[in-house]
Amino acid sequence: MVSANKEMVVYCFDTLVAHYNSHDAPPPAFDEGQHPLFVTWKKVVNGGEPRLRGCIGSLEARGLINGFKDYALNSALRDRRFPPIQAKELPTLECTVSILTDYENANDYLDWEVGTHGIIIEFTDPDYNTRRSATYLPEVAAHEGWTKLEAIDSLIRKAGYNGAITESLRKRLQLTKYQSTLFTMHYSEYVAYVKQARGEAPSILGAKLRN
C-alpha cells in the first residue's frame, strides 16, 4: 500500500511556487499510482493554531502525480470557502497530503470511530428531493473535539441541507467509512528540504521569501 510521504508534500509546495512563478514544477520524487487523495492547506500565524485555508481532493482513485498537481492548486486557489492563497502567504503555510484507503459501507450513521475513520454521507434532501453528499477526513472530528453525533450533524450541514436534522434523517444516511495515511510539512521545512536537495531556497519572481 502506498502511504503519504514527504516527497508528495514537497511536490504540492513545488506546484504552488511554480504557479506563482509561471513555470513548471520540478518532477516529483515519488512513484505514480492510483489512489483517492486530498490536499489541505492551513495557515499558521504567530505560532497559533493552524487555520484551514483550503482542502480539496477526490474520493475516487486518481493518478497521484496529476492528482496532487491538480489538487495542490485547486485547494489553494479555488476552494470556494476561502479567498485564493496569495504568494505572500507562503511562509505561513502548512500542507497536508492524504491518501485514502480501506473504504467500507457502514451499518448505520454511528458505525465508525472518531480519530480512525473518515466518513462520507449521502442522502436525499427531503425538502427538495435532491441527492446530497459530503465528507470529513479522518482527522477532522478528533481535531474539532466532536462526538460522532456532532460530526454527523455538522456533515449534514456541510452537504448543504438547511432543514431540521431529525433522527429519522440520520437513520436514512448512507455512510461510507474510510481510513487514510497523511503527511504534513510547514513551509519552513519545505525550504530546508529544497536547500539541502537542490542547493538553493525557493523564490518567488526572483525575490527570496522569508521563512
Cell numbers linked to 67? 492528482
Residue 209 has pLDDT above 70, yes or no: no
How far is Cα 211 from Cα 90, in angstroms, rounded to an integer?
9
Instruction: Report the pLDDT averaged over residues 93-104.
Output: 98
pLDDT over threshold 90, residue 100: yes
Q: Which residues contact 76 (CB under 8 A, 6 or more apart)?
A: 16, 41, 53, 54, 84, 85
Q: Is the CA virtual torsion 154, 49, 88, 93 positive or negative? A: negative
Confidence of residue 52 (pLDDT cuts 50, 70, 90): very high
pLDDT, residue 210, reads: 53
User: Any idea how long the chain is?
Assistant: 211
Question: What percentage of the chain exceeds 70 in pLDDT?
Answer: 97
Q: What is the pLDDT of residue 207?
A: 53
Segment among 80-94, 147-161, 192-206 with least mean pLDDT: 192-206
For position 7, what pLDDT does the model report?
A: 98
Asked: is 6-101+180-198 a CATH 3.30.700.20 domain? The reply is yes
Burial 11-42 (b: 16+ CB within 10 A, else e): bbbbbbbbbbeeeebeebebeeeebbbbbbbb
Domain coordinates of the chain in residue numbers? 6-101+180-198, 110-172
**pTM strictly above 0.85:** yes
Residue 144 has pLDDT above 90, yes or no: yes
- Interhelix angle 6-21/187-198, nearest 10 degrees: 90
Under 8 Å CB-to-CB from 176, ≥6 apart: which residues? Answer: 103, 104, 105, 106, 119, 120, 122
34 falls in which pLDDT band (50, 70, 90)? very high
Query: In 108-173, at which residue ranges do the beta strands (DSSP E only) sit?
Result: 118-125, 130-136
